[in-house]
Amino acid sequence: MQQLIFTNEVALALTQVINGKQYNRVFVLVDENTAREVLPLVKCEAIADACTITIPAGDTHKTLDTLSHVWQQLQEGGATRHSLLINLGGGVVTDLGGMAAATFKRGIDFVNCPTTLLSAVDAAVGGKTGINFGGFKNELGVFQEAQAVVISTKFFATLPAAELRSGYAEMLKHGMLESHAEFSRLLNFNVADASLDELLALLETSVKVKQRIVEQDPHEKGLRRALNLGHTVGHAFESMALHRGNPIPHGYAVAWGLVAETVLSHMKLKFASSDLQALAVFVRDNYGAFHITCDDYPLLLDYMHHDKKSVSGEINCSLLRACGDVETGVTVTDDDMSAALDIYRDLLGI
Amino acid sequence: MQQLIFTNEVALALTQVINGKQYNRVFVLVDENTAREVLPLVKCEAIADACTITIPAGDTHKTLDTLSHVWQQLQEGGATRHSLLINLGGGVVTDLGGMAAATFKRGIDFVNCPTTLLSAVDAAVGGKTGINFGGFKNELGVFQEAQAVVISTKFFATLPAAELRSGYAEMLKHGMLESHAEFSRLLNFNVADASLDELLALLETSVKVKQRIVEQDPHEKGLRRALNLGHTVGHAFESMALHRGNPIPHGYAVAWGLVAETVLSHMKLKFASSDLQALAVFVRDNYGAFHITCDDYPLLLDYMHHDKKSVSGEINCSLLRACGDVETGVTVTDDDMSAALDIYRDLLGI
């Protein structure tokens, strides 16, 4: 099982992971940003002799060329099956580095050390690795869990507020999947002026929700689809924003998607109206709204029908009967979805 | 568990595998040779609509470029997680195709249908996939078992005799790992004028020996090293032959390596002299000998010290106490190895 370490003593945690096994060589993968901002914060004896591999920052570099560069650096650095790769960065670094490690000599150990809230709560845990290919996101990759994930909020101090909020949307999702208590706890947290210590505690619960779901369904055959809550509508919003030439952060799309899909949950599964209202207020206050009119519905519905998760072209959602009580694979008609989008606009004041 | 199907009704077996699951698309990977020689033999309704992906033949094409071509063809052909890839070819096709399938959308099903004896008895079973990279063999890859392996000897009718012998050496190895009865059965088979029906029966036992070992140690942490029997010396012979500019088939190197390592087994673990003699006669009659003098020993020892399997630079072998009784991770000194090579030369009449 993947070891999860929540700490602000990252250098110490990495030292323990490295010393726990006899690695003959240690490599650290960073992007240009984390090389500059984060690597100096975790310098310690255990990685003093590590070979650093640097890749360009950003999703446009999550490519086969970059992966090939990492493989080459591992090879030239003399990596063997007894070597370790530490991925120090956001989702691109942990996804691509995880794939590099999982495929080098049929698999070497790797440790994820996420440096953004979104990667801490999402990409770094759960064993999904990958790169984009031929214009499709995460088209190539494998399921392979990291040896350990070291999660700290100390790197988030310098993150833009929008990046914190983006990650927080995935935490909201986990909270809703977990329990009403967790959902309430998250709505009461002040994201706008976040205490990083409090956030670390919230993050620990949140990541463990995901880990528990992933453990029961590592290869996404069923239950793991619960984690798609908010994402059917969220992805459609993201695609539309891209189409408009005005991309939105993934987490914002998820926050807005959560509102729309909670409306659906209320309509179809009797999800409590008071919780829906509370969610909508939180999202409106912290994320604003994604602006749509009914003229946008046909294109949005089209995106949803072509979603990866769609089976035989139907719109498919994971919905909630209540916080902590999910139903995956719910088929949603175009009429239901349009009605839900109407109410989404009302709730967010569009 | 990987399904193994031994049959000469390949089209029927493939049909059953395909119909056993609801695949939305079927792809067949072939190289230029198997496209011409083998694909017409397995044409059936089930793969009539399959999309054929053709790659150049030979180990020099077991590259990232070729893999990338296969990924691209899968993508352009509309492969999803519910699609199937059938690898129809020798070790290059099954290794590379296995890696392509295992990494496309984090893994789609694949079926191996080996067309050479060597790939049937070795590469196609056991979950090792991979490509060469940066001058190293199988540097990139993952462990991923095929959904099914369909093994037939009908494709071997047109194989050169040397290719049959090459594969047969790995069968000898499996026989020695299995039991004295199996070892004797293999020595009594006429490889020079092989009955393909008898060979299919021998192959079934042989492949199951490998499968049983792999099941107990899928990721090569311990027991699987038993399968390295004959390969420490065999690989050194291969490297030396390459160095001399006169490469030898892998299976021939294994046959000669088996003799040398059985000598070591006799010296160090009291392996029966009569069985060693019988093996040497069979190998000399069917494979001739790899010619070495004592002047070659330093370079051979150097290769063995740098073998992948070597831990901290020592020469490491899997040896036999008797047929069916293996000991892995035996350290061998330079003096012991030199003495074994002397006896190897005597036994093979060099």
Q: Using CA atoms, how far apart are residues B235 and B232, in angstroms rounded to an integer?
A: 6
- Give the residue among B121, B143, B118, B117 at the shortest CA–CA distance from B130: B143
Which residues of chain A make contact with B66, given a CB cutoff of 8 A? none
Residue carrying the six token digits 């993952």: B142
Is B120 in contact with B95 (CB distance < 8 Å)?
A: no
Q: For residue B269, what are its two tokens?
A: 């673990």
Q: Who contacts B249 (Cβ-Cβ below 8 Å, separation ≥6)? A: B162, B163, B165, B166
Separation in Å, CA of A276 to nearest CA in chain B: 34
Q: Using CA atoms, how far apart are residues B263 and B350, in angstroms rounded to an integer?
A: 15
Nearest Cβ partner of B139 from A105, A128, A133? A105
Are B223 and B342 within one domain?
A: yes
Separation in Å, CA of A106 to nearest CA in chain B: 4
- Is residue A1 predicted with pLDDT exceeding 80? no
Nearest Cβ partner of B136 from A75, A102, A134? A75
pLDDT at B168: 97
Q: Using CA atoms, how far apart are residues B252 and A169, in angstroms rounded to an integer?
A: 61
Amino acid identity, position B256? W
Q: Is A24 on the interface with B (CB under 8 A)?
A: no
Which residues of chain A make contact with B134, given a CB cutoff of 8 A? 71-72, 75-76
Separation in Å, CA of B63 to nearest CA in chain A: 12
Nearest Cβ partner of B142 from A107, A133, A139? A107
Separation in Å, CA of B173 to nearest CA in chain A: 24
Are B103 and B220 within one domain?
A: no
pLDDT at B311: 67
Are A45 and A189 within one domain?
A: no
Q: What CATH number is given to the structural domain containing B183?
A: 1.20.1090.10
DSSP B3-24: EEEE-S-HHHHHHHHHHTTT-S
Are B44 and B102 within one domain?
A: yes
CA dihedral A186, A188, A191, A196 (to 10 degrees): -80
Q: Which of B123, B158, B193 is the last residue of a domain?
A: B158
Q: Which residues of chain B are modeled with pLDDT < 70?
A: 310-311
| Digit-coded pLDDT (tens) for A129-174 | 999 999 888 999 999 999 999 999 999 988 899 999 999 999 999 9
For range A294-309, the mean pLDDT: 90
Which residues of chain B make contact with A106, given a CB cutoff of 8 A? 128-130, 138, 141-143, 219-220
Which residues of chain A make contact with B107, given a CB cutoff of 8 A? 142-143, 219
Are A61 and A180 within one domain?
A: no
Are B149 and B180 within one domain?
A: no
Q: Decide if A71 and B103 are in contact by the 8 Å CB cutoff.
A: no
**Which of the residues A76, A83, A140 would you substitute to probe the B interface, choosing the one with the greatest number of B C-beta atoms within 10 Å?**
A140
Separation in Å, CA of A136 to nearest CA in chain B: 9
Are A182 and A328 within one domain?
A: yes
Which residues of chain A make contact with B71, given a CB cutoff of 8 A? 133-134, 139-140
| Digit-coded pLDDT (tens) for B169-200 | 999 999 999 999 999 999 999 998 989 999 99
- Give the residue among B8, B14, B9, B3 at the shortest CA–CA distance from B197: B8
Q: Is B221 on the interface with A (CB under 8 A)?
A: no
Mean pLDDT, chain A, integer? 94
> How far, CA to CA in Å, does B253 sit from each of B64, B169, B298, B307?
27, 9, 18, 15
**HSE-up (13 A, CA, CB side) for residue B327:** 17
Residue carrying the six token digits 């706008």: A192
Compute the Cα dihedral for B94, B98, B104, B105 and give only its sign.
positive
Q: Decide if A136 and B219 are in contact by the 8 Å CB cutoff.
A: no
Q: Is A143 on the interface with B (CB under 8 A)?
A: yes
Q: Please tell me the least confidently modeled range out of A41-45, A281-285, B38-42.
A: A41-45
pLDDT at B204: 96
Amino acid identity, position B288? G
Q: Decide if A71 and B130 are in contact by the 8 Å CB cutoff.
A: no
- Is residue A312 predicted with pLDDT exceeding 80? no
Q: Using CA atoms, how far apart are residues B329 and B318, in angstroms rounded to an integer?
A: 6
**Which of the residues B24, B69, B95, B106 would you substitute to probe the A interface, choosing the one with the greatest number of A C-beta atoms within 10 Å?**
B106
Are A165 and A153 within one domain?
A: no
Q: Decide if A103 and B141 are in contact by the 8 Å CB cutoff.
A: yes
Separation in Å, CA of B232 to nearest CA in chain A: 18
User: With pLDDT > 70 as the criterion, what percentage of chain A qualifies?
Assistant: 99
Radius of gyration of chain B (CA): 20
pLDDT at A30: 98
The CA-based angle A305-A308-A311, given to 5 degrees, is 60
Is B87 in contact with B94 (CB distance < 8 Å)?
A: yes
Separation in Å, CA of A104 to nearest CA in chain B: 5
Separation in Å, CA of A76 to nearest CA in chain B: 9
Into how many domains does chain B fold? 2
Are A166 and A148 within one domain?
A: no
Residue A78: domain span: 3-158
Nearest Cβ partner of B103 from A134, A136, A141? A141
Q: Decide if A107 and B134 are in contact by the 8 Å CB cutoff.
A: no
pLDDT-based confidence at A307, cuts 50/70/90? confident
Q: Is A139 on the interface with B (CB under 8 A)?
A: yes
Which residues 63-122 of B have a C-beta within 8 angstroms of A?
64, 68, 71-72, 75-76, 99, 102-107
Q: Decide if A104 and B130 are in contact by the 8 Å CB cutoff.
A: no
| Digit-coded pLDDT (tens) for B108-122 | 999 999 999 999 999
Which residues of chain B make contact with A105, given a CB cutoff of 8 A? 139-141
Q: Who contacts B312 (Cβ-Cβ below 8 Å, separation ≥6)? A: none
- Is residue A310 predicted with pLDDT exceeding 80? no
Q: What CATH number is given to the structural domain containing B43?
A: 3.40.50.1970
Which residues of chain A make contact with B76, given a CB cutoff of 8 A? 134
| Digit-coded pLDDT (tens) for A56-101 | 999 999 999 999 999 999 999 999 999 999 999 999 999 999 999 9
pLDDT at B45: 81
Q: For residue A142, what are its two tokens?
A: 């494998």
Q: Is B216 on the interface with A (CB under 8 A)?
A: no
Is A210 in contact with A203 (CB distance < 8 Å)?
A: no
Q: Decide if A103 and B140 are in contact by the 8 Å CB cutoff.
A: yes
Nearest Cβ partner of A103 from B76, B107, B142? B142
pLDDT at B271: 98
Q: Is B142 on the interface with A (CB under 8 A)?
A: yes
**Is the ipTM of this structure higher than 0.85?**
yes
Q: Who contacts B134 (Cβ-Cβ below 8 Å, separation ≥6)? A: A71, A72, A75, A76
Q: Using CA atoms, how far apart are residues A340 and A336, in angstroms rounded to an integer?
A: 6
Are B140 and B9 within one domain?
A: yes
Q: Which of A124, A158, A192 is the last residue of a domain?
A: A158
Displacement of CA B228 from its chain's centroid (Å): 11
Q: How many residue contacts between A and B have a Cβ separation below 8 Å?
A: 68
Separation in Å, CA of A141 to nearest CA in chain B: 5
pLDDT-based confidence at A223, cuts 50/70/90? confident
Are B184 and B331 within one domain?
A: yes
Q: Which of A158, A177, A206 is the last residue of a domain?
A: A158
Q: Decide if A104 and B140 are in contact by the 8 Å CB cutoff.
A: yes
Nearest Cβ partner of B142 from A106, A138, A219? A106
Separation in Å, CA of B83 to nearest CA in chain A: 14
Q: Using CA atoms, how far apart are residues A155 and A151, in angstroms rounded to an integer?
A: 10
Q: Decide if A140 and B107 are in contact by the 8 Å CB cutoff.
A: no
Which stretch of DSSP H or E encloses residue B102?
helix B91-103
Q: Using CA atoms, how far apart are residues B321 and B327, in angstroms rounded to an integer?
A: 7
The CA-based angle A106-A15-A110, given to 5 degrees, is 20
Q: Decide if B142 and A142 are in contact by the 8 Å CB cutoff.
A: yes
Q: Decide if B105 and A139 are in contact by the 8 Å CB cutoff.
A: yes
Are A202 and A334 within one domain?
A: yes
